[in-house]
Chains A and B, each alone.
Chain A
Amino acid sequence: MEYIIIIISAVFVNNIVLSKFLGLCPFIGVSNKVETSVGMSGAVAFVMVIATIVTYLLYQYVLIPLGITFMRTITFILVIASLVQMVEIVLKKVSPPLYQALGIFLPLITTNCTVLGVAVLAVQNDFNLLESVVFAIGNAAGFGIAIIIFAGIRDQLELLNVPKAMKGVPIALVVAGLLALAFLGFGGIV
């Protein structure tokens, strides 16, 4: 039951993009097309789950016994950076079209705060290993849902007659605000 609560809370109530403000760069940058958004959220989900497992184990079995928990930030970012490199190599071999589509944003997952954020939050919340994995899956799903809905809306937005100064990012931010308002309605279910 508590795993279901963790997932619902991560996807809807505390949506990582719309209420915790993590991962906004890809949220604004990649979300022009639905297909790219799907690819991006897949890549993020993959990296996020693995990164959370690896960083959790490192934190519990290396950093805490050695008493160097202040090295958390440095350790976590190094693990994530190497993981992203690995995903990039694998994706290049397995699915060149997807690799082409994600282009510059793949290396940028390193500096995507969702991955580091979820890893740090999982440790801060004192989750055990299974809870951390569930937490990562929930947040990855929340990121995916937010970015895919947003891409769908932006598709329609291109056809509209928007005032010149508002074209591009400003109107996207306003739309994101309204979307966040909608997600606010989920508050209180958990």
Chain B
Amino acid sequence: MNQWKNFSKGFFKENAVFVLLLGLCPTLGVTTSAFNGLGMGLATTFVLTMSNIAVSLVKNVIPDKVRIPSFIVIIASFVTVVELVMQAFVPDLFAALGIFIPLIVVNCIVLGRAEAFASKHTVLTAAIDGLGMGLGFSMALTILGSVREMLGSGSIFGLKFLPGDGMLVFVLAPGAFLVLGYLIVLVRKINRKGA
């Protein structure tokens, strides 16, 4: 597999949210606006890339039996780094994402990539995989956030293009489920045509 394919699979063919359906909690929880979605996506991308690199560096040192706990400790350390950095430099975003920042630890994508990919590949390949999957995840979150923001408050990235309040339900919980459901249908249609 060449590196470009390795990088680009995270966007469409194996998109974490639309195709693999991993990491649904942050996906639905933070995407009340495009900006929040993008911020969460980038934070996850950092953790994913760094933990992929770290796991692939130590893969030969860790005994097979304590593999999963070790991965979790590695991931939790990077999440703590993100937590502290975001609290210091982007406090508004940190407050908006709230509980979902510490919960990156239990995001199935991160542990899933560490276990299924990084522990079997070289450092460079693992890093590219992490970056690709992470950016694909960010893309999905930004799309979902944009759609919800457009329908729910008539704006995108905070720029208003419609007067009034929009359909509030799309910013609230039910809208998250509905929009994601229909986006998955759309991606399935597109993927089937391509294949």
Contacts and interface: CB of A to CB of B under 8 A. Distances in A.
A19 interface: yes
Contacts of A178: 174
Interface stretch (B55-63, B105-113, B121-129, B155-163): B105-113
Interface stretch (A58-66, A68-76, A91-99): A68-76
Interface stretch (B4-12, B133-141, B178-186): B178-186
B102 A177 contact: no
B174 A77 contact: no
Given A73-B102, A117-B103, A78 B25 contact: no
A177 B103 contact: no
Interface residues of A, number: 41
B42 interface: no
B177 A173 contact: yes
Interface string A106-117: 000011110011
The secondary-structure label for the interface of chain B is helix
A24 B105 contact: no
B180 A173 contact: yes
Q: Give chain B's interface residue range (CB within 8 Å of chain A).
A: 35 or more
Interface string B161-195: 00000000100111111101110110011001000
B148 to A, nearest CB: 12
B131 interface: no
B176 A165 contact: no
B72 A77 contact: yes
A113 B25 contact: yes
Nearest to B26: A21
A149 interface: no
Given A113-B106, A120-B99, A173 B69 contact: no
B76 A166 contact: no
9 closest pairs, A vs B, by CB? A177-B177, A173-B181, A21-B29, A177-B178, A24-B24, A181-B174, A180-B174, A74-B76, A174-B181
Given A111-B107, A173-B181, A177-B176, 18 more contacts: A21-B28, A21-B173, A22-B25, A25-B25, A73-B80, A73-B83, A74-B76, A74-B77, A110-B68, A111-B108, A113-B106, A165-B188, A170-B182, A173-B177, A173-B178, A174-B177, A177-B178, A184-B172
Interface of B: 21-22, 24-26, 28-29, 68-69, 72-73, 76-77, 79-80, 83-84, 99, 102-103, 105-108, 111, 169, 172-178, 180-182, 184-185, 188-189, 192
